[in-house]
Structure 1
């Protein structure tokens, strides 16, 4: 059994689990006008921004070689280990692994170095450009910083990648590695990154932070990007118990799927992915207490996700939420951050609402939690994430079973 013993959060609406969770229940948003460069000429200007000075929390030697996304990952990783009461020096180095997802790499760092290359010449480019841009850099830097030499992986699957990282970490623990640091963090909010976000035509151009991102709403017209995410500590249940670890919950099931090519007569993969994750967990649909939806915020995508939830759980058969309206979609950081929220729902018996959404079409048939948190027993939560180009992932987390 794989249990979660540590949580580290760097989110637009809170640094640390306590601050993030309080903001999630109260509706405090981290959405603001992107002000790191002049965005006045862009059609969309809102994003989920992490208000955190990494320079005060990391050694100067790391600052020269890391992108913002890696700095946030290192800070979240440090917080997760502290939360789990884990001192890596007390563990055997090959008994600790790292699995992270990343969707954009070191965007800000590499574009800054490219500008030097074009304007000043190659001799002015940082030697750290050789790895600071790379998708695997967060896994590598966490591994180096904490002396973790066990099996380690980096995954790339856009928004779905964060749940994939947790699923892969579970496989790693099952293979015999006692402890795995896992999750996802992304940041791509420099000028080139912002242009990349907008190029897909899915970002909301509504200038009001309160209504710009409202998934499953009749007026939904897109999503808002954000930065940040979460890093978790996953342990073998017996190993965690032996050291007296506190347990937030367990990863009970996981599955991933890939949509067929456009024009195919095969169905999209989301329903099959959900069913496989539930089967992996040994959980019937009626045992799921809440679904943390992907909630893209585009009518066609919302309609398709709602249809899958109706087919699997029945009409209004399960409470559905999407706290990401307060943070924006965080690419690889979205799934792990939703997992933190799900674990806190399990701990406290409360489901956070979807803020911003109010007019849910009847045809969706969803029991969407709106307006205020819902007090209810939560033992099992299903988390969904869909990435561009066909990625689908589903994760089941539940309260730790007796003896874990």
Structure 2
């Protein structure tokens, strides 16, 4: 059994699980006009920006020159997760601790700043830390170095699905004999070049009002809002957690699966349904034992339609409550899935399903029980978390309550 014993959150609408959770239940979002550079000529100007995070308050000064903003967030979220789990890494064997992170963007802001120096000033002005600060695996590496974690470690790149893939692989790592693994995902690409990459996809909402910008499953859905941040988790083998006297357990990572979509134009359905079914089978649960689905909720009509159809095909029409908190944070890429896992675990703890903010009218033929308007009090014993990345990635994780 793989337990979640620690959680760390850095989200646009709250730092730490409790502040984030309070914001979610209150419907308080973090989507606002992007302020890190001049967006006056951009077609899209809203983002889920983490505005109240000061890395210097949490990290040694020596780390600041060598890290991108996403790595700083990952380091701090990992520290908070370890603190939450009451883990003393110095008291554990280094090869008994691993790190598995998801990443979609790498060190975008850092590397673009150094590239600008290269082109405008010359190579002698480029930071030596550019050699690794841009890399997709840098968050795994920096967390591993800082905490002396020398056990099996890796990084996964699957865009929006990558965060769930990281958690799934971390669970596999625990099952293979590593007692403790730090896992999750954090992304940030809100610099000028990163923003150009977001907007060039054609999928970003151009709305000017935050409450109308990101409307998954709504009749007015017209794109998503990019965001930054994510969550880190501490996963532990149940026996190892008990042996060290773990003070609390948030829940269990009970099932995981990933699939890949067929080629575009093949007329075959997406692989999302199969990912969900495989995750349920891995968890040993029937569809009627799932109390809520945390949807990928892309805000794009065709992808929303596919996801709604997949959910209906598994659970039946309006067969399970469905929700998404991304309209409050923006789409966090590899950070989204782990943050949804945190949200699911908090839903279990407090017996309440948060609503899908801002969505007011379901699009025609979406026969899903989308939680709207206000939080829904109900016991939550198991939840299905879904994520879909660009280029065909699908991932699903099942979490459930557990008593230790």
Q: TM-score, normalised by structure 1?
A: 0.99
Q: Distance in 1 between matches of 2:308 and 2:383?
A: 17
Q: Which residue of 2 aligns with 1:184?
A: 185
Alpha-carbon shift at residue 248 of structure 1 (Å): 0.3
Alpha-carbon shift at residue 244 of structure 1 (Å): 2.1
Q: Provide Cα deviations, 1:229-284, integer angstroms capped at 9, x if missing partner.
A: 00000000111112221100000000000001112254321111111000000000
Q: Provide Cα deviations, 1:15-68, integer angstroms capped at 9, x if missing partner.
A: 001100000100010001001100010011000011211122111100010000
Q: Provide Cα deviations, 1:349-384, integer angstroms capped at 9, x if missing partner.
A: 000000010011341001000011000010000000
Q: Does 1:21 align with 2:13?
A: no
Contact 2:219 2:364 survives alignment (8 Å): no
Q: Does 1:160 align with 2:161?
A: yes
Aligned with 1:308: secondary structure? helix
Contact 2:270 2:306 survives alignment (8 Å): no
Aligned with 1:194: secondary structure? helix
Question: Which consecutive aligned stretches of 4+ in structure 1 deviate over 6 angstroms post-superposition?
Answer: none
Q: Provide Cα deviations, 1:290-329, integer angstroms capped at 9, x if missing partner.
A: 0000000011111110001110000000000001110000
Structure 1, gaps ≥5 residues long:
none
Q: Which residue of 2 aligns with 1:44?
A: 44
Q: Does 1:348 align with 2:341?
A: no
Q: Distance in 2 between matches of 1:352 and 1:242?
A: 35
Aligned with 2:79: secondary structure? helix
Aligned with 1:64: secondary structure? helix
Aligned with 1:357: secondary structure? coil
Q: Provide Cα deviations, 1:61-108, integer angstroms capped at 9, x if missing partner.
A: 000100000000001001000000001101000000000000000000
Q: Which residue of 2 aligns with 1:134?
A: 135
Q: Distance in 2 between matches of 1:244 and 1:348?
A: 24
Q: Which residue of 1 aligns with 2:331?
A: 329
Q: Which residue of 2 aligns with 1:338?
A: 340
User: Paired residues, what number?
Assistant: 402
Q: Provide Cα deviations, 1:184-227, integer angstroms capped at 9, x if missing partner.
A: 00000000000000000000001000110010000000000000
Structure 2, gaps ≥5 residues long:
none
Q: Which residue of 1 aligns with 2:123?
A: 122
Aligned with 2:391: secondary structure? helix
1:291 to 287, 290, 293: 293
Q: Does 1:239 align with 2:246?
A: no
Q: Distance in 2 between matches of 1:227 and 1:54?
A: 14
Q: Distance in 1 between matches of 2:259 and 2:8?
A: 27
After TM superposition, list the pairs within 5 Å mapping 1:323-402 onto structure 2: 323-400=325-402, 402=403
Aligned with 1:268: secondary structure? coil
Q: Distance in 2 between matches of 1:341 and 1:146?
A: 26
Q: Distance in 2 between matches of 1:368 and 1:19?
A: 24
After superposing the two structures, state which structure 1 stretch, 257-266 or 92-101, moved more: 257-266
